[in-house]
């Protein structure tokens, strides 16, 4: 099976995705979701994920894979059900978030989606993989669901230990993420980027060649790579959450248990599941309140780790989870979102594991967020929430998960079929002096012009709706083009008005105003958000 994980030593692999350089078409825009997934863009504080109003949000979601495989689109589109029926059922069962694995191959120009039933899904025939993704995201938004994009593989051929390969260098990885962030700018259904799926160890210590954490080698240190990619994305889309998975072995190499040298041995966990060094070596992002750590956790159907047969099982599980990732939540360091966890439930040990794991996450809105693996029944080592008919539910699994699910509510119009209506609103300001901060980045300059981005963050406790940003350019500089708002200029004063699809800038939210200009380059000055003067 495409999704069958391979065990090696104490490690277990999962699956999927990457991104590739491509020019995308027009992006759909979705009004803010409400209810179970909050309002507007999300941000973090301590171990909480918060919405634009400051309300706590818990993501209780599901993985729907396929876009990372040779089909280049969601699996199950070949079944007797429409793609909308699949999403309807997810929402009805209580899954408020959709994690979408994808691969570089699905995003390349000319990529073709296959495995689609032209009788049940005729509206998808002839669409590119990205166009299908746009439709899924648009409809998910109408149901109040959120979407996390998961860069799962550099190509559809398989998962890699590092975030780059000879054919997909780091520069491509980062540029592709920036392109996706621009493509979905203003669409609050898409909340963030899971940077790379399951970085893990390769080679035997001390000759490690896989992904390490905190080792300082820029070619292998996943923590440093996550910072580079995360900050590049935030430079384009400062409102996204950045989801960072763990590694398997912090050294990036497998222990040689036969060499008699215990100094080369270490405690390794699941691929993507070991965040034990994140407290000592945290991921540092340029925009505060955007980091979410995302461990993976599996059962014996994936690999029979030694703790499953320990004499104190299952009492030993809490300490294991605390060690690998739970401490980040318990010590209020950062939020967690378990990006993958699953089992076939064929082994009674696994039922105990899943029950204990869900109890560990806690109930209610303050619990740890998660996206279960998977919706698909064709995951070889876990199966799915759906049975093989792609219709009926595996009730044994669903019954364990159900008490922890927070159903989606609200949502905006489907941008693939409708145009969001604008409703007159009463302007509100960010709350006086110091209600906003700014950051300026000069992206490029040439003789007679320049390009840059001005990021404005609402630091007040209330939303600005509709938002307007006013700033002053150096004398002789005139805006030639701009994005993420409507630009007008009078003399040296530039006014940027909110687009109709995203009129509100919530408390703690930011907007990145990119533009090109003719004339001398220089940082914008005297920036105001609404009536509030901003600080740099």
The DSSP secondary structure of 223-268, one letter per residue, reads HHHHHHHHHHHHHH-TTSEEEE--BSSTTSSB--TTSS-GGG----
Which residue blocks in 285-444 are alpha helix, DSSP H?
Answer: 317-321, 327-330, 348-361, 395-401
Strand 510-518 and strand 449-458: pairing?
Answer: antiparallel
Ramachandran sector of residue 332 (left: φ over 0; alpha: ψ -120 to 50; beta: rest): left
What interhelical angle do 222-236 and 170-183 show, nearest 10?
A: 30
| Residue 68 known to be catalytic | no
Q: State the Cα torsion 37-42-43-49 to the nearest 10°.
A: 10
Exposed (0-12), middle (13-18) or buried (19+): which is 31, by Cβ within 10 Å?
A: buried
Closest CA to 534 of 448, 436, 451: 436
- Specify the 3-state DSSP secondary structure of 488: strand
Please state whether the peptide bond connecting residue 132 to the residue before it is cis, i.e. omega within 30 degrees of 0. Answer: no
Q: What's phi and psi for 370, nearest 5 deg? A: -160, 160
Cβ atoms of 458 and 506 closer than 8 Å: yes
From 202, 245, 297, 340, the catalytic residue: 340
68, 170, 198, 245: which is the annotated catalytic residue?
A: 198
Q: Which helix (H) or strand (E) holds 49?
A: strand 48-50
| E runs forming strands in 404-518 | 436-446, 449-458, 468-472, 478-483, 486-490, 493-497, 510-518
Q: Is 266 a catalytic residue?
A: no
What string of DSSP letters covers 94-121?
T--EEEEEEEHHHHSTT-------TTT-
Catalytic residues: 198, 340
């Amino acid at each position: 099976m495409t999704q069958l994980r391979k065990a090696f030593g104490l490690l277990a692999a999962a699956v999927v995705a990457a991104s590739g350089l491509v020019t995308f078409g027009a992006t759909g825009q979705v009004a803010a979701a409400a209810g179970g997934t909050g309002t507007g863009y999300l941000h973090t504080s301590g171990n909480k994920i918060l919405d634009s109003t400051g309300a706590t949000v818990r993501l209780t979601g599901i993985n729907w894979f396929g876009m990372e495989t040779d089909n280049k689109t969601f699996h199950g589109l070949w079944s007797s059900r429409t793609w909308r029926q699949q999403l309807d059922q997810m929402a009805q069962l209580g899954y408020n978030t959709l994690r979408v694995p994808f691969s570089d191959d699905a995003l390349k120009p000319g990529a073709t989606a296959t495995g689609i039933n032209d009788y049940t899904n005729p509206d998808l025939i002839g669409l590119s993989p990205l166009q299908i993704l746009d439709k899924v995201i648009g409809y998910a938004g109408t149901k109040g669901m959120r979407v996390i994009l998961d860069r799962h593989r550099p190509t559809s051929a398989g998962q890699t230990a590092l975030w780059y390969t000879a054919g997909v260098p780091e520069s491509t990885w980062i540029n592709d993420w920036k392109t996706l962030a621009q493509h979905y700018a203003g669409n609050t259904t898409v909340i963030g980027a899971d940077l790379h799926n399951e970085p893990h160890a390769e080679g035997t210590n001390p000759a490690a060649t896989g992904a390490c954490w905190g080792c300082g080698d820029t070619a292998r240190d996943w923590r440093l790579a996550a910072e580079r990619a995360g900050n590049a994305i935030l430079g384009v889309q400062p409102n996204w959450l950045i989801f960072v998975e763990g590694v398997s072995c912090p050294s990036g190499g497998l222990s040689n248990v036969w060499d008699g040298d215990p100094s080369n041995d270490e405690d390794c966990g699941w691929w993507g599941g070991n965040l034990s060094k994140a407290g000592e070596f945290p991921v540092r992002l340029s925009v505060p309140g955007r980091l979410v750590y995302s461990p993976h956790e599996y059962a014996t159907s994936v690999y029979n780790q030694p703790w499953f047969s320990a004499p104190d099982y299952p009492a030993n599980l809490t300490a294991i989870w605390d060690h690998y990732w739970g401490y980040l939540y318990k010590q209020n360091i950062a939020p967690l979102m378990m990006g993958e966890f699953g089992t076939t439930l064929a082994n009674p040990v696994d039922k105990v594991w899943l029950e204990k794991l869900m109890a560990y996450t806690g109930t209610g809105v303050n619990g740890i967020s998660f996206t279960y693996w998977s919706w698909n029944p064709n995951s070889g080592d876990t199966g799915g929430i759906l049975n093989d008919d792609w219709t009926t539910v595996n009730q044994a699994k669903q019954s364990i998960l159900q008490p922890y699910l927070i159903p989606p509510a609200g949502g905006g119009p489907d941008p693939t079929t409708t145009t969001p209506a604008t409703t007159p609103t009463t302007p509100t300001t960010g709350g006086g002096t110091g209600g906003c901060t700014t950051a300026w980045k000069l992206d490029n300059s040439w003789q007679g012009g320049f390009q840059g981005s001005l990021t404005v963050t609402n630091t007040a406790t209330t939303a600005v709706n509709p938002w307007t940003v006013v700033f002053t350019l150096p004398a002789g500089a005139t805006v030639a083009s701009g994005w993420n708002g409507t630009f007008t200029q009078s003399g040296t004063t530039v006014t940027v008005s909110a687009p109709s699809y995203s009129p509100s800038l919530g408390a703690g939210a930011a907007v990145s105003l990119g533009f090109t200009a003719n004339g001398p380059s220089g940082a914008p000055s005297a920036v105001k958000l609404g009536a509030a003067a901003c600080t740099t």
